[in-house]
Amino acid sequence: MWQVVGQTRVISLLQRSLQEGALAHAYLVVGPHHVGKMTLALNLAQALNCEAAEPPCSECASCQKIISVGHADIQIIGLTTEGNSNTAKPQAEIGIEQIRQIQHSASLPPFEGSYRVFIIDGAECLSNEAANCLLKTLEEPAGNVVFILLTINDKLLPATVVSRCQRLELLPLAATEIEAVLQSRWGIESEKAKLLARLSRGCLGWALSVIHDDDLLQQRTERLEKLLDITTGDIEERFAYAAHLVDQFGRRRGSVHEVLDLWREWWRDLLLVKVGNSNTITNVDFADRLSDWARDFSLLQIRDFIDSIQTAGEQLRQNANPRLVLEVLMLDMPRKKEIVSIAHG
């Protein structure tokens, strides 16, 4: 049984190749974060080494070892995870030494299974040297060795490497598909499954990572509440929040991009409500407030501000001054009308 949810085109292609013994020596799995690239890679490694009649069975000793990352012939390399200590700098590139190591292993026959499988997670982070080194191995493939490169964007990889791999693209799933599988396979109750499915942007892995981490959902709610707060607030409140974001940006850039993504989604939801498409909103748990807010902004205001959020994100990625970018964004944010008091004049 393939553990990957959806992705039927890719799975049937792999299954056919397995049956016909026509596997590629290298695959490039392309898709957004949490869409299931690693699950697919491990599944393929299982299928190549499975002892059952219909691989991958997920149950034989080999399949079990692979899923618990304890199989001697399966090696995963990538960037070391960031943030386990304040002193350790997160690794920025996959270096040539890591590739030399797997090259050495690739030259040896499989130790306990039928195939050696090398999974390179975050292949877009290969240094130039590392990519060139890998290219040599890909150009002279050994038998019983399969490379699986995972990337969010194959345009960031050298064309020479890409051309040596068979490309497998994983597409985000439909929200209804995620909602259904969360309920049937993971036993999530229907309301939470619906919310997680919408928030996941089609990436099941994200929803699964949140199931056991209520802090993440809590953080999202707090960030949204803050957005609602400053949209009614004055310029001092907005600039104070901009300063807070600048401070966060200095410590972890990703967190500010997460906030901007959340904002873009909120304003996109407002747009959807405004044009009568409330059933496709992401923030389903804020549906009432969205329809209330939609009355207070014009389509033009909403569209303009979505553009401003987009621009701010791009400028931050291009290393513009974060303080300037975020303050301009605060100025661009349309102001929600205060609740009109009954006593006029």
Q: Is the dihedral of CA 179, 183, 188, 191 positive or negative?
A: positive
Of 50 and 96, nearer to Zn ion (C-beta) is 50
CB 35 within 8 A of CB 153: no
User: What is the C-alpha to C-alpha distance for residues 20 and 308, in angstroms, rounded to an integer?
Assistant: 52
Minimal distance, residue 73 CB to Zn ion, in Å: 14
Q: Which one of residues 63, 208, 259, 333 is an interface residue with Zn ion (CB under 5 A)?
A: 63
In this structure, what DSSP letter does residue 71 have? -
Q: Nearer to Zn ion by C-beta: 72 or 331?
A: 72
What residues between 236 and 275 interact with Zn ion by CB under 5 A?
none
CB atoms within 10 A of CB 65: 18
Q: What is the number of other CB atoms lying within 10 angstroms of the CB of residue 61?
A: 12
Which stretch, 61-69, 213-221, 256-264, 298-306, contacts Zn ion (CB under 5 A)? 61-69
The residues that bridge with 146 in the sheet, in sequence order, are 117
Q: Is 60 in the site for Zn ion (CB under 5 A)?
A: yes
Please report how close the Cβ of residue 66 comes to Zn ion at its closest, in angstroms: 8
Of 113 and 313, which has the nearer Cβ to Zn ion?
Answer: 113
Comparing CB distances to Zn ion, the nearer of 110 and 313 is 110
| Count of residues in contact with Zn ion, rule CB under 5 A | 5
Residues sharing a CB contact under 8 Å with residue 34, sequence separation 6 or more, in sequence order: 200, 203, 204, 205, 206, 209
- How far apart CA 147 and CA 168 sit, in angstroms, is 13
Q: Angle at the Cα of 90 (from 85 to 91), degrees rounded to 5? A: 140
> Side-chain half-sphere of 332: how many Cα atoms within 13 Å?
19
Q: Which stretch binds Zn ion (CB under 5 A): 55-63, 67-75, 82-90, 135-143?
A: 55-63
Scanning 32-40, 62-70, 153-161, 164-172 for contacts with Zn ion by CB under 5 A, the matching segment is 62-70
DSSP string, 307-340: HHHHHHHHHHHTT--HHHHHHHHHHHSPPPPPPP
Stretch that binds Zn ion, among 63-71, 90-98, 273-281, 319-327 (CB under 5 A): 63-71
**Measured distance CA(236)–CA(185) in Å, rounded:** 48
- CB-nearer residue toward Zn ion: 39 or 200: 39
> Shortest approach of Zn ion to residue 39 CB, angstroms?
15
Smallest separation, CB 121 to Zn ion (Å) = 22
* Closest distance of CB 7 from Zn ion, Å: 20
Considering only 52, 69, 156, 331, the residue that binds Zn ion (CB under 5 A) is 52
DSSP class of residue 173? P
Pick the stretch among 3-11, 59-67, 136-144, 177-185 that binds Zn ion (CB under 5 A): 59-67
Site string for Zn ion, 119-158 (x = CB under 5 A): ----------------------------------------
> Could you tell me which of 99, 34, 105 has the C-alpha nearest to residue 74?
105
Minimum CB separation from Zn ion for residue 120, in Å? 23
Is 18 a binding residue for Zn ion by CB under 5 A? The answer is: no
- Does residue 50 interact with Zn ion by CB under 5 A? yes
Nearer to Zn ion, 52 or 69 (CB): 52
Smaller CB separation from Zn ion, 13 or 52: 52
Whole-number minimum distance, CB 19 to Zn ion, in Å? 16
Residues 6+ apart with CB under 8 A from 167: 27, 28, 30, 154
Task: Give, in order, the Cα–Cα distances in Å from 16 to each of 11, 26, 43, 275, 287.
Answer: 9, 16, 15, 45, 45
Site residues (vs Zn ion, CB under 5 A): 50, 52, 57, 60, 63
